Structures are given as structure tokens and as C-alpha cells.
Structure 1
Amino acid sequence: MDITNEVGKIIGSPEGPQLEYKAVLPPSRTIARLISSFANTDGGYIILGISDDLEINGLSDDFHANSITHKALDLLSSQPQVHYQYVIYEGKKLYVIKIEKSEKLISFEDRIYDRDDEGTKLVNPTKIHFKSHGYSRIKNISQQLEDYKKKATSAKVKLIEHYQSILKIVDDLGLILYPLDPGKPTSNQEGKVLSRILFSSFIDNFETYLSDLLFEIFLAIPATLKSKQQVTIEEVLSCSDLQDFVEYWAKQKISKLQKGSVKNFIKENKQISDLHVIDQAKEEEIEKILQIRHLYSHRNGIVDEKFLQYYSGQFTVNSEHQMSISEICDRLCYLAEVTNQIDVAAITKYKLA
């Protein structure tokens, strides 16, 4: 089925319930969410290579959108009827996915999406209910995180949802995490262990966000992936296709940050440094937060000489490092704000979905 002619008649129409433009090739998760929303409403078209202001940019030849579409369809509860192909329009290569209306609901990650005049919306959002008598700040932070979702990459949405899950755990287990006061470290041994695990988890997911964001940038602007760095044949062959290799390479690039080297990570990843979001002050602050995670993950919170290089005069060797839930929330909010700044800049610069 060739849909070239019908696509030619659609291009130039404003976005709406049955039409959405994307300037770049989004990750499979984004495509899956869009396909499900169209299938659950009245069907429609996703046209890649055109921005929402109708600027026709075309898609790069470096990546094949078919494999992304196949992966997206595999993520759905069942596959609606779709047609997809490349289309040449005004000399530019576009990619079009036509989705037919489905007779049954199509879910993505157990969530139901549909469309209206404003685009894709979640029909069955998972509402987080916090205790009325718990730490009131947790609810406020969760609402701020929800606001960050309004314009976000898939990478940021994934991070926000994880952070909200952590806040829910803190709320549910307040008796052992802050038995006396959220501003005081717990003396409960189980609470100490859990605090370290939760703190390490939200740091790990900040790193995962950066890796996922690099993946989205690489897909959108393939030229940013090119470098003189060598890879082994084994690394290439272990990936099923080019998209898998891009995701693998993004994770490799994040390894320097996982070792606590924020400065080197930014220096070696122009995709992030060119956003001009993380200045020296932010570098140093993130570095210090990473060192706490390292201490919690590898030393059970026991201070060592390396840690004192970042927190000179504040602790002694072999003492136990502890944070109150209030202090943990401070750092979670800080990284969430930095994430939001990075994400907004990346969406603008790279025209991400």
C-alpha cells in the first residue's frame, strides 16, 4: 500500500487529533505512545521530518526508521493496523506512519492514551496518593515533578516517574526513615540502609537520564555520534542493529559520570556541553553528590580519604555519613531542576520529541 499521494495532500495541515509532526526520529517508546493514542481515537498520521511549525527538514539517511517502528509495535499490548514508509516531499526524505482506528484499546506499558486537539493524553494516569499526616514537602515535590512532565523528552519522563516512586516509598515508610523528624537522620538500622539505597537509586537514575538523552540526541542528529574513537568488532556484532549500537554507545559514554568524573563527562560529550547548562558550580555540586552515592554504594556510608577530598574538614575517616530525609529531598530537587534545565535546552537545540 503506497500512501505517498494521500500524504502529499495532508502535509501543511495543522496538527490535530489525526495528525502529528516530528522534526526528528524519536525513540521507539515515543513512537509506541503515539501509535497507541491514534489507534485508540480515530486513527491518523505521524510524519517524521517536519517540525510542528511546518518546517520541512527531512530525515537523515544514517538511521532506518523501520526498525524503530517495529520495536514500537512490539511494545504495545496488541498491534493495530499500521502502514509506514519513506516519502520524498519537495526533495526531502520524510517517514510516515499511518495508523488505523482500532476496535479494541491499545495500551503501552499498561497505560491507555488517546488524542484530542492538544495532542496525545494519558487516559488512565496513575495517581500517587500521599499520607495526609506525612511529610508535607513530599507531596509538593511530586507536584513540581509533575509540572516538569509538561514538555519533556522520554528520558526526562522516565526519570520523573522514578523520582515520584522514590517519594512514595519515603512517604509509606516514614516510621523508619524519619521516626522523629524529617530534618533528623534516622537511628533505625533498617532506615539507614533504606535511606542509602533510595539516595543511590535517584542518583543512578540521573545518570540513566543523561544516557537516555544522549540516545535521543544521537537518533535525532546522527552526525553527533561520529567521532574518531575506536570500537571493537565484538562491540558492533553484539548489537542487533544500528539503533542498538547507538544505545550501547550512549551508555558507554556515561561510564565516566558513573565513576564520578562530571567534568570529563561533559568535556567529552559536546552534545551536553553545547547546551551551556552545567557550569563549573553545577559540575562541582553534582560531583559532590556523586561522591555521597559512591560512599553509600561501596562503603556502606563509612567515610574514607577520597570522600574527604570533596568534603574537607566536615567529616573524619571511618565515621558514618548520614543524611536526613529533608537533606535527601534537597539533593533530589537539585538534580531534578538540573535535569529540567538540560532537557528544555536539548529539546530546543536538537528539536527533540
Structure 2
Amino acid sequence: MTLQEEVSKSILKHESDVLEYKAVLPPSKSIAQIISSFANTSGGLLILGVTEIGGLKVSGLSEDFRATSITHKALDLLSPKPIVDYGYVQYEGKKLFAITVKKSQVIISVEGRIYKREAAKTVLTNPVSNILSPGGYPRIASINDSMELLKEGTTDSKFKILEHYQSMIKIVDTLKQLLYPQGPSSYTNDKEGKVLTRIIYSSVVDSFETYLSDVLFEIYLAKPQTLKSEQLVKVEDVLNCSDIQEFITFWAKQKVSKLQKGSVKGFISDNKQIKDLNAMDAITQNEIEKILQIRHLYAHRNGIVDDKFIKYFPVGHISGSEHQLCIDEVLNKIEYLSSIADKIDKAAIKKYSLSTI
């Protein structure tokens, strides 16, 4: 049976363990996960260009970005590579992209992770262990449980930041004697504990920036027209990228560069895709800007307060003094940034029909 025949036979049937639809082009990693799940179960068919909002509807897939190159990237993530067929097909005058996957006799993994199909869902069968210390700080277990709930119906971008945050709180849980020997609301006096607290905090904030870059990438893939603008691009930058996916990743990271300088408002102003979501009001932007300034202080000055920092925090700080956060304050930032990512994610999924996992 040809790919065209396979699509004609299956299209507009309900999703199942052998059939999945996506309205838009997902990132290569999401495609790889679906292919892995089909190969490890009964085989299956992925059709891009069919929306499920308000009932199944063939919407077609934009050709502005080539789905073939994204699929090649997905296959490169698989080990070993399963038997697949893929390409553009026609249905009622609209162009779709389809990938059919044969059942594999060996386990197919995506960067060491194994997926299977359960009904109409792709499920990770070997998740990273998040076992916490028995009798540990109860708030850590509570945050971990909240992260698990936030993983439902999320983009791949948000899933990654939540997993990273779970890894961070697991470190906090494990290293109590270094990070909060006198309790989570008290500063540690341990030299190595202070360094580690700064590292954890910086990693938490860096991951939020990475999330914004990743979700921009997903929006560009889903709605390629949002990438089009009159902004100048260096030919060298284009030629340094091997394909369109690599260029989009590069461009998304360039857009986030203003965040690295602490300019949240500049970032939102430069990125209509994020601005139009209305997910970060003025109060939120100011709060994130302060969070970023603490990260800059930790990453570049080992926590020693300078005059620039005092401009953002004029009360309670002296130039040359050491800035510290207790673990409860770090956990507050993890919860806060998770909630902002969740708000952005839900708005982006709704507005741009992003793929979810």
C-alpha cells in the first residue's frame, strides 16, 4: 500500500494506538517520540495538517518550511532507526505530510528514552527517577507533584523546563546539609553551599530563557509566516546553518538575547509572537526583570552587590556586600517561573495550535 493510499484509508478516523494527527509541524524531537512509540507498539501513521479543534478537519500543512528536513532530524534522534515511509500527500485538494512507521522487532529509543502507545497517547516508559528523600522537606515533594500535573497536555518546550526544575529540586532535597542546614528559610553559612545555591538559581533562570527560545521555535514551525519580517539577516548566519530548522533555532536564540541583558520589555516588544499572547503583564515583566538581575549578579559577580544591582534593588543592599537567597526563596522562584511558563504555554497552544505531548 502506498503512502497516499494509507492516508486515504485512515484519514478522519479517530486517533488510536496506530493513528495520530497534528495540525502543524512539530519539532523534530516530538516527531521522533511519536515514531518511537509507534515502532515499539504496533506501528502507526502520523498525519500532519489535520486539526482536532471542533472536530476533525483537514486544514493542510504550510510548505513554507520543509517537513522532510524536520523528519530527517527526527530520524537522526532514533536508535536504531525503524522502517518508515514519509512524504507529502494530497487530500481533497490540500497538501498533508504523512509518516508511516512499521512495528520494530527491537526497542527504538529517542536519546535513551523509550516511548510506547497507550490508546491515542505517546507515553514515556522509562521516565527519569524523581524519588525524593523520605522525611525530607514537605514543600519539595509538593512542588514535584505540581510539576507532574503541569506536564499534562504541554508543549515539548514546557515539558523540558519542568523536568529540569524537578532535577533542581531533587538536588536541593539531596543536599540539605549544604544548602539549608539551619532550615529552608535560613541562609546557609557553608561556603560550598553558597556557591551551589547561586549555581542552582542561575540554572533555574537560564532554563526559563531556554523555554522562551524553544517555544518561539515551536511557534515558528507551527506558523512559519510569523518568522517573516523586514528585519535584516546576515548571509553568513544563514550559511552557517545546515538547514531551516537549525536557522530557526539560531534565530529564536537571537531573539532571547535581550533577556540575557535583563531587558524583558525589550524581548516582548521585539517578539510579536509572545507579545500577542498577553501572558506577561507589566507587573510580571518587572518581577522577571528583578529575577534576571539576581541571576546576573550570581553568574558574573559571585553574588557581590554592585551599583547596577542597587538600581533595581535600592532598599536593603550595600555595594560590596554579599547577596544571598535561602532555599525557600529559590523554591519561590521555581514555582513562579513554572507558573509563567504554564501561562505562556497554554496561550501559545491555543493561539498557534501547537503540538502537545
TM-score bracket for the superposition, by shorter chain length: over 0.9
The separation in 2 between residues aligned to 1:126 and 1:256, in whole angstroms, is 32
Correspondent of 2:256 among 254, 257, 260: 254
Any stretches of 5+ residues in structure 1 without a counterpart? none
- 1:47 is paired with a residue whose SS is strand
State the alpha-carbon separation in 2 of the partners of residues 93 and 118 from structure 1: 24
Partner of 1:220: 222
Cα deviation for residue 314 of structure 1 reads 2.1
Give the counterpart letter for 2:305 in structure 1: V
Look up the match of 1:42.
42
Cross-structure match for 2:25 = 25
- For 1:92-241, what aligned pairs fall within 5 Å after superposition? 92-241=94-243
Distance, in Å, in 2 between the alignment partners of 1:235 and 1:160 is: 31
Instruction: Answer whether contact 2:238 2:247 (CA < 8 A) is retained.
Output: yes
Tell me what 1:273 maps to: 275
- 1:63 pairs, out of 51, 54, 65, with 65
3-state SS of the aligned residue for 1:254? helix
- Residue 85 of structure 1 corresponds to 87
Q: Select between 124-133 and 233-242 the one with higher mean Cα deviation.
A: 124-133
1:3 aligns to 2:3 (yes or no): yes
* Contact in 1 for aligned 2:213/2:255 (Cα 8 Å): yes
* Residue among 328, 340, 343 paired with 1:341: 343
Q: Root-mean-square deviation (CA), in Å?
A: 1.0
Letter of the structure 2 residue corresponding to residue 74 of structure 1: D
Instruction: Please give the secondary structure, in 2, of the residue aligned with 1:169.
Output: helix
Letter in 1 for 2:134: S
TM-score by length of structure 2 reads: 0.97
CA distance in 2, matches of 1:148, 1:312: 35
Report which stretch shifted further, 283-292 or 306-315: 306-315
Q: CA deviation at 1:223?
A: 0.5
- CA deviations 1:203-245 (Å, max 9, x no partner) are 0000000000000000110000011111111101000011111
Moved more, 27-36 or 47-56: 47-56
Unaligned ranges ≥5, structure 2: none
TM-score between both structures, scaled by the size of structure 1: 0.98
> How big is each residue's C-alpha offset from its partner over 1:91-124, in whole Å with a ceiling of 9 and x where there is no partner?
1110000001111111112221111224111122
User: 2:19·2:120 contact (CA, 8 Å) conserved in 1?
Assistant: no
Give the equivalent residue in structure 1 for 2:12: 12
Partner of 1:289: 291
In 1, Cα distance between equivalents of 2:58 and 2:120 = 21
Q: Percent identity over the alignment?
A: 56
CA positional deviation for 1:334 = 0.2
Q: Aligned match of 1:327 in 322, 326, 329? A: 329
SS of the residue corresponding to residue 182 of structure 1 reads coil
Whether the 8 Å contact between 2:258 and 2:267 is mirrored in structure 1 is yes
